[in-house]
Structure 1
Amino acid sequence: MTSAPTDPLIGQTLDGRYLIRSRIARGGMAMVYLANDLRLERRVAVKVMHEHLAEDENFTRRFEQEARSAARLAHPNLVNVFDQGHDAGRTYLVMEYLPSITLRDLLKQQQRLTLDQSLEIGEAVLSGLSAAHHAGIVHRDLKPENVMLADDGRIKLGDFGLARAVSANTTTGQALLGTIAYLSPELVTRGVADARSDLYAFGIMMYEMLTGAQPFTGEQPMQIAYQHAHSEVPVPSLVSSEATPELDELVRWTTQREPDQRPRDAGEALEYLSSIRHGALPPGATRVLPAPLPDGPSLTPSTTVLDGAQRDLLAAGSEGPQATDDLGASPVVAASAIADAASTGRRRATRGRIVAAVVVLAVLLAGGLGWWFGQGPGSQVGVPQVAGLEMDAARATLASHDLDATVVECSSLDVAAGLAVSTDPAAGERLDRGSTVELCQSTGPEMIAVPTIVGLTLDEAKRVIAAEGFTFGSVLEERFSDVEAEAVLAALGADGEALGDVYPEQGTIDLIVSAGALPDVTGLPVAEATAALEARGLVVDPALGTESHHADIPAGSVIALLPQTDPVRPGDAVGLDVSLGPELFEVPSVSGLGLQEAMDALTAAGFAPSTLVPDPLRGFAVATGTDPAAGDRVPAGTEIRVKSTISL
């Protein structure tokens, strides 16, 4: 059996600087590899254009445009581009390597996101997009696949392969290049895109984060495109309990079919989303879309809805004339001089009694305060709340209450290491002034021993993780291996590295599990092999296949599976090495040669010659032909009977 070929780029060094280590992903235009930058000693991602596209000037121009567009942008929420070049006929782009999953992966894991997750990711995407728009760049392909969620918590927007300058707002023959589910109506109908087109895609993506589904679906791409062009995007709160009225308005505002009714760029949308996330909007305040008011001017996207109090005032104002009539009907009674004098006397008597009562109360209060702070409870102080404070601030707070502090260490799940956790006696208890309080300094979560997880089944691993005081995170990936399906291959900490001997209590543990062994398709017809592989979640790509001769495997059957990644995961593309059958060789003509000379010639050609002539007579025999005949094509090693005559 022949072995599967490896990627020829792996192990190569581009321009004497970028050592290709392994393949990360395959895209429509390029292959992405993990590489070492030998000059700066760092890991980078290298995107190499497919060789069959390198001769196409349009593809090359788009690829180089991605480099120029992305290199102009420097922002914490954008994937950095470091370098671009050509080597050995290959065009490549060097980018920041970001161990991460995509927003699409997260949506597959969780179905829909929480409100906090949606706000955090949305704010990061708009922040990066705002930087691009400010630099005059339109992304044109915003979708969950291009939002990277790094292992260290960073959120970055990448893949500017379809990016264009904002000024290039013209119709193009490739108007539908972006993913159809996120295309704005103007891209669908006119092929025109600007910054507001990115905002439409963002609104669709925000809807999908909150609801777990895209607003428009269909069996054919054009059905989806038609809905984008002719239907309003529904508000997410119709199907999601996470959506708020403010987020409903953000989705409606960014997905208006008319670009002029959307935010002018990502910066304006970011300002509103940040206000939602950080609580800067008053309760109930929302952005509204242009809509005519009765007998009044039109609202704009920057108008805010009147809050409840204002609406009450307006409602009250509508009843104003009736209230005026009621007041006008009330009689006014004039007071007599005698009644006025009596009222004045009563007021003076009341003031005298009040003054006397205040004097008595002041005397009693002065005595009570003296007793309270001298001998009563006032001589004590309450222990203040110091949880979460820096240690110096915690000591200062206690000192301000006339309390001394002695520091002890204790573990805490909630308070970061080095900060104050609590006091003993606890906050709120009363102590004599000058008392000493035990102040607990956090050492972070308690470090506890890590149990054996690798080798367990997924369900067993979840039970062990919970029983030992840790938190199960998620299955980061499945990969094919020799281990049975759903067995744990690796347990990873929050940093994405394998767990050590100890790990913080309640720390999140993510798992990599086995998808079972790769199907053995050797000897199967191509159709059967393809069906078996697809049943296991693999994609058979004919472009990755090869053909070879094989002595034992008949033509049209599979010699070997050709993995393109290591490890191989469900969803990866693979190729097949298909047999051409045994290799055939032409039988040479030996007629007229001496018998022994003819047999030697056939042996040298890779065949097994035979004759009926005894050995003592072979020197007198002359070859007259062969069976199979000269010119026939047969496999190497085939027996060739030499015909001959003997002349004495």
Structure 2
Amino acid sequence: MIGRLVDGRYQVRSRIARGGMATVYLATDLRLERRVAIKVMHGHLADDNTFKTRFVQEARSAARLAHPNVVNVFDQGQDADMAYLVMEYLPGITLRDLLKDYKRLTPEQTVDILDAVLSGLAAAHKAGIVHRDLKPENVLLADDGRIKLGDFGLARAASANTATGQALLGTIAYLSPELVTRGVADARSDIYALGIMAYEMLTGEQPYVGEAPMQIAYQHANDSVPAPSTRTPSVPPGLDALVLWATSRDPDQRPADARIMLDRLREIEPDLTPGRRQTAMHDTLVIGTGTDVPTAETRVLAPAGAVVATAVDEGDDDAGVLEQSANRRRNRGYWLLALVLLLTGLSVGTGWYFGAGPGALASIPATSEMLPQNATQALEEAGFGVEPVDRNDPVVPAGQVIGTDPPAGDLARRGSIVTMFVSTGPQILPVPDVVGQPEADARAQLTDFSVAEESRTQFSADVAEGLVLAVLDADGAAVGGEYAELGKLTLVVSVGPVPPVEGLAVGEAQSRLDGAGLKIEFADPAYDDAVPVDSVITAEWLDDPMNPGDTVRLTVSKGPAPVEVPNVVGKTMSDAIVELEAAGFSVAYELPDLFLPLATVKEQAPAASELAPRGSSVRIVGSLTL
């Protein structure tokens, strides 16, 4: 697929991921000049209507949603026998990758991810779409901080909530009890899956484990999900309650849809993330004693619930109060001046840092196909740190740089880390056995390799026309059981047997061989007692095996070989006839048969000892002897 132009628009660049249903590639939309992710259904599933329906359903479901937290779908179509889906490209990782690296997340991180996923899911539920396959693998965390929900391959309209025959298509660890027991899914089933995800983020493990899928399914159907704090005591009570609400075994006891759960999350979010709480302000009025008229006012800022006490000595007179007020104003002025100077310094420093200093944006240099040491030097000179990562690549030779993340030409902060992908060469893949199959079927099974558009053709008396005789590698040898991804292959396809032409007239033989694409050369003609003159005695193949364009050598008959004419002059006519006919000639004479025993041969033609074709006529002339 690498390098292929899909539907005349999408140029495939590299492979991102491969799943059980499709492979996702990075591609360039040549029309709009942007990078996209193109999802291509596996060729062996193209004839399965169930999978094709699911594939198209994903496009339609996601295309109905326009939300910042849902992966955008741009296009869907069919190129020859290949179904594809074009989506927004998000460089980054999945929530599953994050959990693998960090085991469990902090409550603040969990809240951020839940907020984003619930926002996207709320848009889906509002549009009448149930996702039905929520799991960490389908939550995308982009490098720029965006969080998006993707993979609507199992999504269905909320009204079509029965999952007959497909109830267990979602990942078993996140299936709701009603999906396990009744095969029914609605928005509340998505809420249950999201509750399991929240539990996993907070504790680093799933609530139910087992050696077999049915063991896990049984626990979903019969057990209640424990509070995350039983595994991780630091989980706030609010999150505990939210997870238990979302994972109730009774769907009626869960939030009806994602919007209701999102609203509840945002209500309790200030208590879950104390660093984000807003500070309340209170005013305290300080007045002098001994008079009902305020003589001085002080506004004291304090968090809500704090007790603020101020007092004025009873002996203070108005002059003392005024002096204290003046001192406070003077001190406040000094602090304000210091604050202004500090902010000015910070502004200048920040401007320098992000404008010309280490935090400034710089363009990622192009490093593709460079040696790692040279690419590292170029990136470091541009102000970036470098993290090398090995990766298979079917195009870039092993030991050379494939590219970077962020890619060349993008802007990034100086000092940030750039991932440099170093090629380990192509991935070695098993080669399907396609010998004896129709050419189109063979090509459909070899999509992981670069199959030459022009097949080689070969004559075969044993394999029918149009079927594959062999698969050749780049060196022209028969390919083995494994081969490099996108390695060059050539199909050898049968065109049937070489047309048989022995015994045919030479003109007809030439016509048949020309029609089969074969060249002809002629050997010296030969005598043959069984093959008529100007007919083919033998057709010799000059190559083995024979391919169109090869040469056949024909030997054409000159008829029977000539023989020596016997000498019959002086013999009786009857004896001469017997001898000539025995030599293979026919005899011509003019005397009546009655006089043959009495007549003597005086002349013969051809003359004695001359060569003449067997079967030709010899004329004899006789005279009577009285």
* Residue number among 117, 125, 132 corresponding to 1:133 in the alignment: 125
Residue aligned with 2:397, SS: coil
Normalization by structure 2: what TM-score?
Answer: 0.57
Q: Does the 8 A contact of 1:233 with 1:255 survive in 2?
A: yes
One-letter amino acid of the structure 2 residue matched with residue 483 of structure 1: P
- Using the aligned pairs only, state the percent identity: 41
Q: What does 1:115-130 align with in structure 2 at a 5 Å threshold?
A: 115=106, 116-130=108-122
C-alpha separation in 1, matches of 2:347 and 2:274: 43
Q: Does the 8 A contact of 2:432 with 2:446 survive in 1?
A: no
Q: Which residue of 2 aligns with 1:159?
A: 151
Q: Does the 8 A contact of 1:49 with 1:91 survive in 2?
A: yes
Q: Are residues 612 and 37 of structure 1, via their aligned partners in 2, closer, same or farther at CA, if it must alter by over 3 Å?
A: closer
One-letter amino acid of the structure 2 residue matched with residue 382 of structure 1: W
Q: Which residue of 2 aligns with 1:99?
A: 90
* Residue number among 391, 410, 415 corresponding to 2:349 in the alignment: 410
1:460: how far off?
9.6
Tell me which moved more, 73-82 or 104-113. Answer: 104-113
* Residue number among 4, 20, 23 corresponding to 2:10 in the alignment: 20
Q: Does the 8 A contact of 1:628 with 1:641 survive in 2?
A: yes
Cα deviation code 1:606-641 (max 9, x no counterpart)? 3676757699xxxx9766643779xx9952347768
Q: Which residue of 1 aligns with 2:498?
A: 586
Residue aligned with 1:586, SS: coil
Bigger CA radius of gyration: 2
Q: Are residues 230 and 26 of structure 1, via their aligned partners in 2, closer, same or farther at CA, if it must alter by over 3 Å?
A: same
Cα deviation code 1:356-412 (max 9, x no counterpart)? x953xx4899499589959xx9698236675xxxxxxx58x98xxxxxx79983356
Q: Which residue of 2 aligns with 1:73?
A: 65
Q: What does 1:354-365 align with in structure 2 at a 5 Å threshold?
A: 359=315, 362=316
1:186: how far off?
1.5
* Residue number among 144, 159, 164 corresponding to 1:172 in the alignment: 164
One-letter amino acid of the structure 1 residue matched with residue 6 of structure 2: I
Cα deviation code 1:412-455 (max 9, x no counterpart)? 69x877xxxxxxxxxxxxxxxxxxxxxxxx98825689899767
1:124: how far off?
0.4
Cα deviation code 1:449-489 (max 9, x no counterpart)? 9899767777997899789864557859653444334x533
1:187: how far off?
0.8
Residue aligned with 2:348, SS: strand
Q: Which residue of 2 aligns with 1:498?
A: 409
Residue aligned with 1:410, SS: helix
Q: Are residues 385 and 56 of structure 1, via their aligned partners in 2, closer, same or farther at CA, if it must alter by over 3 Å?
A: farther
Q: Does the 8 A contact of 2:366 with 2:408 survive in 1?
A: no
Q: What does 1:184-223 align with in structure 2 at a 5 Å threshold?
A: 184-210=176-202, 214-217=206-209, 220-223=212-215
Normalization by structure 1: what TM-score?
Answer: 0.55
Q: Which residue of 1 aligns with 2:398?
A: 484
Q: Which residue of 2 aligns with 1:270?
A: 262
Residue aligned with 2:164, SS: coil
C-alpha separation in 2, matches of 1:274 and 1:164: 28
* Residue number among 10, 28, 31 corresponding to 2:6 in the alignment: 10
1:193: how far off?
1.1
Q: What does 1:31-430 align with in structure 2 at a 5 Å threshold?
A: 36=29, 66=58, 69-80=61-72, 97-103=88-94, 106-107=97-98, 110=101, 112=103, 114-115=105-106, 116-170=108-162, 172-210=164-202, 214-217=206-209, 220-233=212-225, 246-275=238-267, 277-279=269-271, 359=315, 362=316, 366=320, 373=327, 381-382=334-335, 386=339, 394=340, 409-411=348-350
Q: Are residues 466 and 245 of structure 1, via their aligned partners in 2, closer, same or farther at CA, if it must alter by over 3 Å?
A: farther
Q: Does the 8 A contact of 1:411 with 1:446 survive in 2?
A: no
Q: Which residue of 2 aligns with 1:341?
A: none
Q: Are residues 609 and 124 of structure 1, via their aligned partners in 2, closer, same or farther at CA, if it must alter by over 3 Å?
A: same
Q: Are residues 454 and 245 of structure 1, via their aligned partners in 2, closer, same or farther at CA, if it must alter by over 3 Å?
A: farther
**Is 1:508 aligned to 2:499, yes or no?**
no
One-letter amino acid of the structure 2 residue matched with residue 273 of structure 1: L
One-letter amino acid of the structure 2 residue matched with residue 103 of structure 1: T
Q: Are residues 514 and 227 of structure 1, via their aligned partners in 2, closer, same or farther at CA, if it must alter by over 3 Å?
A: farther
| Number of residue pairs the alignment of both structures matches | 484
Q: Are residues 577 and 185 of structure 1, via their aligned partners in 2, closer, same or farther at CA, if it must alter by over 3 Å?
A: farther
C-alpha separation in 2, matches of 1:246 and 1:458: 50
Q: Does the 8 A contact of 1:62 with 1:162 survive in 2?
A: yes
1:643: how far off?
8.3
Q: Which residue of 2 aligns with 1:533?
A: none
C-alpha separation in 1, matches of 2:469 and 2:219: 45
1:172: how far off?
2.0
1:139: how far off?
1.3
C-alpha separation in 2, matches of 1:226 and 1:459: 55
The answer for unaligned runs of 5 or more in structure 1 is 13-18, 284-354, 387-393, 399-404, 418-441, 528-539, 562-571
Residue aligned with 2:6, SS: coil
C-alpha separation in 2, matches of 1:181 and 1:573: 33
Residue aligned with 2:117, SS: helix
Q: Are residues 85 and 252 of structure 1, via their aligned partners in 2, closer, same or farther at CA, if it must alter by over 3 Å?
A: same
One-letter amino acid of the structure 2 residue matched with residue 635 of structure 1: M
Tell me which moved more, 267-276 or 132-141. Answer: 267-276
Q: Does the 8 A contact of 1:525 with 1:556 survive in 2?
A: no
1:103: how far off?
1.5
Instruction: Provide the aligned C-alpha RMSD in A.
Output: 5.9
C-alpha separation in 1, matches of 2:114 and 2:540: 76
